[in-house]
């Protein structure tokens, strides 16, 4: 088994330096005549590339969806699933700790700004309680 990547450029490539990468899980086999063939097992999703980079949040969403799809294939062994995930990570690297921390901080800033503009929102103490609950220190939110 392997991952086949199909790359499509943006329709107006001269304006948008964007391409779309579609991932398919494919297996090789031999037909009745012994000729090598490939069979698509499933579509694993797509991810947008802007310039030379896959945007951070899109990387995470793509990998989460692909892992969920792989878990839904009953005939796929755990070893095969891990190998396919490794192949996906070669092209779409998982988030680093610093990327996750930066995204978390940006989300907090976005919520705080929204609450300031629209009224309401938790106090700093309530926000810390939400964070502690999310970490399982107090219980469910």
Mean pLDDT value across residues 10-16: 72
- Mean predicted lDDT score pLDDT of the chain: 90
For the chain, the first-to-last Cα distance in angstroms comes to 42
Q: How big is the CA angle at 12 (ends 9 and 13), to the nearest 5 degrees?
A: 50
Which pLDDT band holds residue 141 (cuts at 50, 70, 90)? very low
Name the pLDDT band for 72 (thresholds 50, 70, 90).
Answer: very high
Write the CA distances from 68 to 44, 81, 113, integer angstroms.
9, 11, 33
Identify whether 44 is part of a domain.
yes
**104 and 91 share one domain:** no
DSSP secondary structure string, 26-62?
A: EEEEE-TTS-EEEEEEEEEEEEEEETTB--HHHHHHH
User: Which DSSP state fits 120?
Assistant: -
Residue with tokens 């790359």: 7
Residue 92 near residue 22 (C-beta atoms within 8 A): no
Whether residues 50 and 69 share a domain: the answer is: yes
Report residue 76's pLDDT band, with 50, 70 and 90 as the boundaries.
very high
107: in domain: yes
Total domains in the fold of the chain: 2
Residue 19: helix, strand or coil by DSSP? strand
Across 37-66, average pLDDT: 94
pLDDT at position 24: 98
| Placement of tokens 């692909």 in the chain | 66
pLDDT of residue 13: 64
User: What's the pLDDT at 4?
Assistant: 97
Region 111-117: mean pLDDT is 88
Full residue range of the structural domain in which residue 105 is found:
98-134
**Lowest-confidence range among 1-15, 32-46, 64-78?**
1-15
């Amino acid at each position: 088994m392997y991952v086949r990547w199909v790359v499509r450029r943006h329709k107006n490539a001269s304006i948008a330096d964007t391409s779309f990468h579609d991932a398919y899980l494919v297996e090789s086999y031999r037909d009745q005549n012994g000729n090598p063939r490939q069979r698509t097992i499933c579509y694993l999703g797509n991810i947008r590339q802007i310039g030379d980079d896959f945007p951070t949040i899109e990387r995470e969403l793509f990998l989460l969806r692909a892992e969920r799809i792989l878990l839904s294939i009953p005939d796929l062994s755990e070893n095969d699933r891990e190998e396919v995930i490794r192949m996906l990570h070669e092209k779409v690297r998982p988030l680093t700790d610093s990327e996750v921390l930066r995204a978390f901080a940006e989300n907090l800033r976005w919520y705080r700004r929204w609450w300031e503009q629209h009224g309401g929102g938790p106090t700093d103490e309530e926000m810390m309680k939400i964070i502690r609950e999310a970490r399982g220190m107090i219980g469910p939110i």
